[in-house]
């Protein structure tokens, strides 16, 4: 067994944190800042083009020390080494977890079962590059000798959310190709997209690590039928490529073996954008930008692997999530990117974080007695401010929020960007400071309201403040900085999984529903409803009638 199996609640640090929590829980962030004016410096990290300010969190220096003690007591340092060395840390699936290997320089050496995997990664990267170059420059053509204009990525979960999020995030850098993503088995999704496409100039990428996923295979078959109706079966090899670790299944589907981009079992679906799953990214922004994304990911990995815990961004942010989840008992965290380009980041993180750490059995096989997992949600600012910020400011729930912003905008419209960023800074200040009754009173008096009206309105206008936020301020949204940001979240997932003593890299929880759906589909096909609870039975009967 390569990972420790320490129950975090049995550590000295956990017990100390429980006691320490009692001393912190009633302290107001505003007071913590007054007591230590240098707080921003103490609790911030400048790394490359990232400035991470975690000073507006409900912590003091003791909290940080104890959280780091906890990370050390559960042997996070050893776990990091096992992870990067390619040990089988995904024990329930008996796999290594090596998406990090996809972003190392070609001169590196990473060995699994006595063989260096870097050369084979390099071969696939070269294949991605040459394929992307030829499609982008128009030398690789469709069946009627026209260059491609549209690329359709058919996949779901990790085979969709990551490439989609990155393609959207890097839209500013994109070329002339139109990229579409079809994921849902809802036929309206595929047909709505096909309606807009011309088979002569459309390339389909079927992305499925397993090549067994119902949604993807159904959509791929529909796309294939649509294509054949307009072209012919012989032309399929010019218009369909696949990304999969199940090469034989892809061949059975009718994909030419030369058109298959392989994937290794040590790349988890939700961590696969760095592999050929990112082919649509490379097609959209060009291979050089795809490489820059990998480089950004690699640099964050190196920061994570080599920096002491006190200055280590993924470790500090991961431990803060644990502080809130297990001591403040918060239920969810918000991620608010102040960039419209990052509008799919929260959805992408939902899979990455919740599919990884949504577990309730620990690495000993025992039921956990503490909370794990983080419910993650969010929308871009400033839109989010006009939607759910009310609840964060004045609701009954404590929701730590992460603000991600950029110093420079891509179109360099200073007027817009200054307004955007003024909101970015104002919100974290407002969430922290709040507005007490004295200040509310002062503003109401200045509005010349009657004493009675002032008394009536005051409680509604009070903001308690003391709402924790972390600010990640990055110089500019580039392929490289995006790569570092994604890797930052990936490594945080790892940190939290290690501390919670769970396996972060399997996803058994998605299987049961899939199996039941297969059974129900055969009942629907035969218009025959078998044994179910009365609710499911009645719903099925309604559907069939």
Considering beta carbons, is residue 275 or 372 the nearer one to ligand F6P? 275
Residues found in the chain = 545
Nearest to 352 by CA among 273, 264, 406: 273
Stretch that binds ligand F6P, among 185-193, 209-217, 229-237, 311-319 (CB under 6 A): 209-217
- If the CB atoms of residues 215 and 299 are measured against ligand F6P, the closer one turns out to be 215
How far is C-alpha 126 from the chain's CA centre? 26
- Provide the 8-state DSSP code for 369: S
Nearer to ligand F6P by Cβ, of 64 and 359: the residue is 359
User: Is 216 one of the binding residues for ligand F6P (CB under 6 A)?
Assistant: yes
Binding to ligand F6P by residue 208, rule CB under 6 A? yes
Q: Which of 20, 95, 224, 270 binds ligand F6P (CB under 6 A)?
A: 270
- Which one is catalytic: 355, 379, 402, 490? 355
Which own/partner contact pairs does 123-130 have at CB distance under 8 Å and 24+ positions apart? 124/261, 124/262, 124/275, 124/276, 125/291, 127/261, 127/276, 128/261, 128/276, 128/278, 128/279, 128/282, 128/287, 128/290, 129/282, 129/287
DSSP-based three-state secondary structure for 14:
helix
User: Which candidate in 25, 191, 225, 386 is catalytic?
Assistant: 386
Nearer to ligand F6P, 157 or 199 (CB): 157
Q: Is 136 in the site for ligand F6P (CB under 6 A)?
A: no
- Minimum CB–partner distance for residue 509 and ligand F6P (Å): 9
Q: Report the distance separating Cα 434 and Cα 345, nearest Å.
A: 28
CB of 494 to ligand F6P, least distance (A): 16
Q: Does 184 bind ligand F6P (CB under 6 A)?
A: no
* DSSP 8-state secondary structure symbol assigned to residue 478: -
Beta strands in 75-191 (DSSP E): 111-112, 115-116, 150-154, 178-182
- Nearer to ligand F6P by Cβ, of 91 and 133: the residue is 91
Least distance (Å) from ligand F6P to the CB of residue 211?
7
Instruction: Please list every residue from 274 through 303 that binds ligand F6P, using CB under 6 A.
Output: none
Nearer to ligand F6P, 299 or 355 (CB): 355
Tell me the closest approach of the beta carbon of residue 281 to ligand F6P, in angstroms: 16
Strand order in the sheet with 178-182: 178-182, 150-154, 202-207, 240-244, 260-262
Told to check if 159 binds ligand F6P by CB under 6 A, we report yes
Whichever of 419 and 519 has its CB closer to ligand F6P, that residue is: 519
Q: Would you call 386 a catalytic residue per the annotation?
A: yes
Q: How many CB atoms are located within 10 Å of the residue 41 CB? A: 10
CB of 162 to ligand F6P, least distance (A): 9
Work out whether 213 is an interface residue with ligand F6P (CB under 6 A). yes
Would residue 384 be called left, alpha or beta, if left means φ above 0 and alpha means ψ between -120 and 50 degrees? alpha
Q: Which of 8, 86, 142, 158 binds ligand F6P (CB under 6 A)?
A: 158
Instruction: Answer whether 349's CB lies under 8 Å from 417's CB.
Output: no
Segment contacting ligand F6P by CB under 6 A, of 73-81, 150-158, 370-378, 404-412: 150-158
Look at residues 301, 307, 297 and name the one whose alpha carbon lies nearest to residue 46.
Answer: 307
Work out the end-to-end distance of the chain between its first and last CA atoms, rounded to an integer number of angstroms.
54
Least distance in Å: CB of 377 to ligand F6P? 19
Spatial distance between the Cα atoms of 525 and 366, rounded to a whole number of angstroms: 40
Residue closer to ligand F6P (CB basis): 217 or 399: 217
- Which of 269/278 has CB closer to ligand F6P? 269
Q: Which of 269, 296, 378, 381 binds ligand F6P (CB under 6 A)?
A: 269
Q: How far is the CB of 138 from ligand F6P (least distance, A)?
A: 29
Residue 210 within binding range of ligand F6P, rule CB under 6 A: yes
Residues 6 or more apart whose Cβ sits within 8 Å of residue 255: 206, 236, 237, 240, 241, 242
Kindly state the number of chain residues that form the binding site for ligand F6P, as judged by CB under 6 A. Answer: 14
**CA angle in degrees (0–180, nearest 5) for 231-233-237:** 95
8 binds ligand F6P (CB under 6 A): no
| Of 387, 426, 437, 510, the one binding ligand F6P by CB under 6 A | 510
> Which listed range, 96-104, 138-146, 202-210, 359-367, lies at the site for ligand F6P (CB under 6 A)?
202-210
Kindly state the tokens that stand for 80: 């990091």
Q: Is 350 in the site for ligand F6P (CB under 6 A)?
A: no
Contacts of 168 (CB under 8 A, 6+ apart): 341, 342, 343, 344
In this chain, which stretch among 121-129, 195-203, 210-218, 291-299 interacts with ligand F6P, using CB under 6 A? Answer: 210-218
Tell me if 128 sits within 8 A of 280, measured CB to CB: no
**What secondary structure letter does DSSP report for 323?**
I
Nearest distance, CB of residue 328 and ligand F6P, angstroms = 30
- Tell me if 466 contacts ligand F6P by CB under 6 A: no
* 353 contacts 376 by C-beta, under 8 angstroms: yes
As beta bridge partners, residue 435 has 463
Of 261, 428, 507, 540, the one binding ligand F6P (CB under 6 A) is 507
Q: Which of 55, 49, 21 is nearest to 468 (CA)?
A: 55
Residues noted as catalytic: 355, 386, 514
Binding footprint of ligand F6P on the chain (CB under 6 A): 156-159, 208-210, 213, 216, 269-270, 355, 507, 510
């Amino acid at each position: 067994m390569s990972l420790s199996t320490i129950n975090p609640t049995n550590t000295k640090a956990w017990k100390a944190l429980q006691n320490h929590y009692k001393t912190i829980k009633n302290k107001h962030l505003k007071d913590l800042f007054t007591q230590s004016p240098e707080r921003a410096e103490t609790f911030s990290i400048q790394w490359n083009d990232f400035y991470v300010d975690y000073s507006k969190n409900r912590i003091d220096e003791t909290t940080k020390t104890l959280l780091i003690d906890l990370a050390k007591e559960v042997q996070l340092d050893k776990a990091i080494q096992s992870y990067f060395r390619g040990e089988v840390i995904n024990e329930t699936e008996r796999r290594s977890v090596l998406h990090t290997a996809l972003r190392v320089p070609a001169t590196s050496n990473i060995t699994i079962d006595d063989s260096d995997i870097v050369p084979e990664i390099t071969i696939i990267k070269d294949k991605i590059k040459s394929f992307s170059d030829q499609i982008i420059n128009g030398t690789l053509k469709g069946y009627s000798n026209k260059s491609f204009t549209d690329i359709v990525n058919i996949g779901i979960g990790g085979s969709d959310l990551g490439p989609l999020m990155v393609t959207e995030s890097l839209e500013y850098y994109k070329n002339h190709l139109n990229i579409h993503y079809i994921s849902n088995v809802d036929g309206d999704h595929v047909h709505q997209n096909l309606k807009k496409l011309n088979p002569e100039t459309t390339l389909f990428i079927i992305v499925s690590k397993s090549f067994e996923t119902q949604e993807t295979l159904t959509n791929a078959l529909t796309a294939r039928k649509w294509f054949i109706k307009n072209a012919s079966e012989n032309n399929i090899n010019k218009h369909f490529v696949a990304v999969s670790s199940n090469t034989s299944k892809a061949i059975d589907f009718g994909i030419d073996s030369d058109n298959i981009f392989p994937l290794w079992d040590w790349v988890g679906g939700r961590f696969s954008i760095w592999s050929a799953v990112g082919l649509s990214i490379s097609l959209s922004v060009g291979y050089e930008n795809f490489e820059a994304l990998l480089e950004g990911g690699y640099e964050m990995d190196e920061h994570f692997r080599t920096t002491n815990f006190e200055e280590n961004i993924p470790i500090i942010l991961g431990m803060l999530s644990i502080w809130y989840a297990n001591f403040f008992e918060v239920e969810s965290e918000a991620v608010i990117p102040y960039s419209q380009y990052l509008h799919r980041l929260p959805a992408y993180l939902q899979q990455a974080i919740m599919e990884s750490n949504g577990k309730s059995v620990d690495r000993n096989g025992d039921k956990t007695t503490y909370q794990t997992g983080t419910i993650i949600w969010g929308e871009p600012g400033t839109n989010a401010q006009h939607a759910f910020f009310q609840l964060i400011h004045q609701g009954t729930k404590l929701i730590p929020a992460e603000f991600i912003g950029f110093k420079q905008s891509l179109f360099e419209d200073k007027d817009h960007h200054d307004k955007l960023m003024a909101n970015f800074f104002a919100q974290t200040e407002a969430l922290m400071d709040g507005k007490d009754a004295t200040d509310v009173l002062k503003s109401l008096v200045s509005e010349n309201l009657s004493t009675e009206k002032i008394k009536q309105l005051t409680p509604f206008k009070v903001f308690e403040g003391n709402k924790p936020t972390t600010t990640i301020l990055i110089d500019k949204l580039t392929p490289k900085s995006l790569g570092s940001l994604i890797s930052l979240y990936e490594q945080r997932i790892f940190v939290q999984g290690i501390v919670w003593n769970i396996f972060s890299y399997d996803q058994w929880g998605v299987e049961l529903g899939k199996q039941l759906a297969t059974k129900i589909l055969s009942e629907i096909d035969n218009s025959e409803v078998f044994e179910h609870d009365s609710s499911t039975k009645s719903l099925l009967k309604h559907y069939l009638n």
